[in-house]
Structure 1
Amino acid sequence: MKEKISKKFEELFNTTGAFYASPGRINLIGEHTDYNGGFVFPGAIDKGMIAEIKPNGTGKVRAFSIDLNDYAEFGLTEEDAPKASWARYIFGVCREIIKRGGNIQGFDTTFAGDVPLGAGMSSSAALESTYAFALNEIFELNIDKFELAKIGQATEHNYCGVNCGIMDQFASVFGKKGHLIRLDCRSLEYKYFPFDPEAAGYKLVLLDSVVKHELASSAYNKRRQSCENVVAAIKRNHPEVEFLRDATMEMLNEVKADVSAEDYMRAEYVIEEIQRVLDVCDALEKGDYETVGEKMYGTHYGMSKLYEVSCEELDFLNDIAKECGVTGSRVMGGGFGGCTINLVKEDKYDAFVAKAFAEYTKKFGHEPKLYNVVISDGARRLA
């Protein structure tokens, strides 16, 4: 990939620049916990974005996307916003740095990525983090890593129309090989936990259903509303409760008669999921991957039956994982399509993949996609 980027850079700009990279991410456990003040548990992966960059001494950015075979040129003031959506990510990062007082000049860049698009591994956060990290270093801005992640998040909010949380950008900037990061979505405190399934004889595999159901945004808002309804009910007896993260199952049961059955189910899932993240962290500190797997299945059950954000295709892949003796499997991401993430013993891997492909294709008329992932480092300069 680097060669391809370098060749195009030289062809377009007749010079050479510095290389920077940032990864996509997976989230092992902790789904729909972020807006409830809970924990998420992501890790950076060995797939991401790579860019070659060099200041060009002008007030203009000249950028080329190799994957889209598209060129864009734009200035650095608000009126210069480019039309192409991919270019708006780079422009947004520049603007967010400038808003924070960073002095950026024009630069030339070419970039490419190997994060699968639409598979829930956050290719956009990888792109934002690559440029935030690179521009910070190239223009010697001394912005700390937390702020770099926030610059990526603000780019999504202000220039790309996506009101995302901080997890994706955080994982892309802070990723560390062989470790997952437990991020407290309320305080933004974080802690690294060892995660090296290969050393313990496991593989981490994503199976992409290659479907995306259209319910996602309205269903997401509805579930968020359910959580807020329950917090409001609990708060009457327990004023200290601000998020479901502060609530216990006892508190939830106290208000069972005051909330709808649907709201109760949604809250039950979230309270249990927040606890599962903590249980998985404890298990990893002991190297106990069996417990990790068991909790992943618990998450899938909760997302399917209580939060109701799974779909037939994802439930089918989860059932096959169970039949094949896969250690852990669950839907990854917001739901209604996308991937399952699977923790598979090496000696069961071939049989699981073969069965999943054969049975899924027979049932749904198209193959799933397979991605093996390795937990890797975050944003960095490449030698």
Structure 2
Amino acid sequence: MKKEEVRKHFIERFGDVKGFLYASPGRINLIGEHTDYNGGFVFPGAIDKGMVAEIRPNNTDKVRAYAIDLDEYAEFGLKEEDAPKESWARYIFGVCREMIKRNVEVKGFDTAFSGDVPLGAGMSSSAALESTYAFAINELFADSKIEKFELAKVGQATEHNYVGVKCGIMDQFASIFGKAGHLMRLDCRSLEHEYFPFNPKGYRLVLLDSVVKHELASSAYNKRRESCEAAVAAIQKKHPKVEFLRDCTMDMLKESKANISEEDFMRAEYVIEEIQRVIDVCDALEKGDYETVGQKMYETHHGMSKLYEVSCDELDYLNDCAKKCGVSGSRVMGGGFGGCTINLVKDELYDDFVKTTKEAYKEKYGHEPKVYDVVISDGARRLA
């Protein structure tokens, strides 16, 4: 939704005194899945889809919020016991509370917001919402401004403490720090980050949403974390300085193979190789070598499907379609068991790829995948 439409809804709801317009993006992750909790790297970028909110202080101790897309209204105070019942409003409330914990004197405000991040497609609409309000509250109410990384942590803490999702930092980090024409390599151990150029002239990034979500996700995710921890524990017997799989080489893993179950070995093999792939992709981007980037994406998909076993038939089929159509790179994006593939497609192959895949997928599964073109864009900002 464009900022003009958000402003129109804001004025209809709260009167014709304008507020301030803010926006934050959703994100993609080009490569680096299941590396975050292993002390490795992730490689996200902000996208040209996100949240837009108009916000105006109202000289009360109440927040009056209107969710345009849901056509729902909520009103709540700023004390811990004032938590709203509406799930979407808890994100805004949580951000307010986390900013208050950081000594920001948050006051009441009126707000309306809307987004065009597709829900359930793994592009982090919730992080976009959190980042919009963290950035805005920091500008409007903080006497001494909070640093950007702390704003990302505000979003993460909102998920942990007010939504009940124990997420990592990547989504909020990408939404706050996004930079047009660049991806960001985030070191999940040190939290240091570095920008890398992403200007794929002659290529397009497109997500194909399988429109399925298998129920295995949360229990399977925990099981895989346990596998990684078990492999580290076995390796530590000979290499006591090892803390995460990030610190391990394939030689170390093979050396400890007798003490690691076959399943745990496969999981660790994927993670060690995936951490190296992120570094390889960074090197390739610095040379403008997008074919190598694509090849590494295919390697990631194979690892997630066969070693980490977090893909599913639908995602494997979309990946196979990409190969048949000559697409440069394709892989499952996100935790797995459903959601999207992310595809790096040459311009001249794009139309045929989308048409062929939609038809083939519908014939096999009874419905078409959803198609989302994405462009790498800027992070949280004030619009007007």
Flag whether TM exceeds 0.5 (same fold). yes
Which residue does the alignment assign to 1:128? 130
Q: Distance in 2 between matches of 1:5 and 1:326?
A: 37
Is it true that 1:176 corresponds to 2:179 in the alignment?
yes
SS of structure 2 residue aligned to 1:89: helix
Which residue does the alignment assign to 2:249? 248
Q: Distance in 1 between matches of 2:139 and 2:102?
A: 15
Q: TM-score, normalised by structure 2?
A: 0.99
Q: Give the C-alpha shift of residue 4 in structure 1.
A: 2.1
SS of structure 1 residue aligned to 2:119: coil
Deviations 1:304-325 (A, max 9, x none): 0000000000000000000010
Which residue does the alignment assign to 2:199? 196
Q: Distance in 2 between matches of 1:274 and 1:210?
A: 28
Q: Distance in 2 between matches of 1:8 and 1:339?
A: 32
* Contact 2:105 2:142 (8 Å CA) reproduced: no
Which residue does the alignment assign to 1:221? 222
Stretches of structure 1 that go unaligned for 5 or more consecutive residues are: none
Q: How many residues align?
A: 381
Q: Distance in 2 between matches of 1:178 and 1:228?
A: 36
Pairwise CA RMSD of aligned residues?
Answer: 0.5
* Contact 2:52 2:132 (8 Å CA) reproduced: yes
Deviations 1:309-366 (A, max 9, x none): 0000000000000001000000000000000000000011111111100000000000
Give % identity.
77
Is it true that 1:51 corresponds to 2:53 in the alignment?
yes
Q: Distance in 1 between matches of 2:333 and 2:357?
A: 17
Structure 2 residue aligned with 1:154, among 139, 150, 157? 157
Deviations 1:148-177 (A, max 9, x none): 000000000000000000000000000000
Letter in 1 for 2:179: K
Is it true that 1:370 corresponds to 2:371 in the alignment?
yes
Q: Distance in 2 between matches of 1:312 and 1:360?
A: 11
SS of structure 2 residue aligned to 1:95: helix
Q: Distance in 1 between matches of 2:139 and 2:251?
A: 50
Deviations 1:250-289 (A, max 9, x none): 0000111111000000000000000000000000000000
1:251-270 alignment, distance < 5 Å = 251-270=252-271
Q: Give the C-alpha shift of residue 9 in structure 1.
A: 1.1
Stretches of structure 2 that go unaligned for 5 or more consecutive residues are: none
* Contact 2:104 2:142 (8 Å CA) reproduced: no
1:1-383 alignment, distance < 5 Å = 1-14=2-15, 15-141=17-143, 142-197=145-200, 200-383=201-384
SS of structure 2 residue aligned to 1:177: coil
Q: Give the C-alpha shift of residue 140 in structure 1.
A: 3.3
Q: Distance in 2 between matches of 1:310 and 1:9?
A: 42
Q: Distance in 1 between matches of 2:182 and 2:5?
A: 30
Q: Distance in 2 between matches of 1:3 and 1:177?
A: 22
Q: Give the C-alpha shift of residue 3 in structure 1.
A: 2.2
SS of structure 1 residue aligned to 2:23: strand
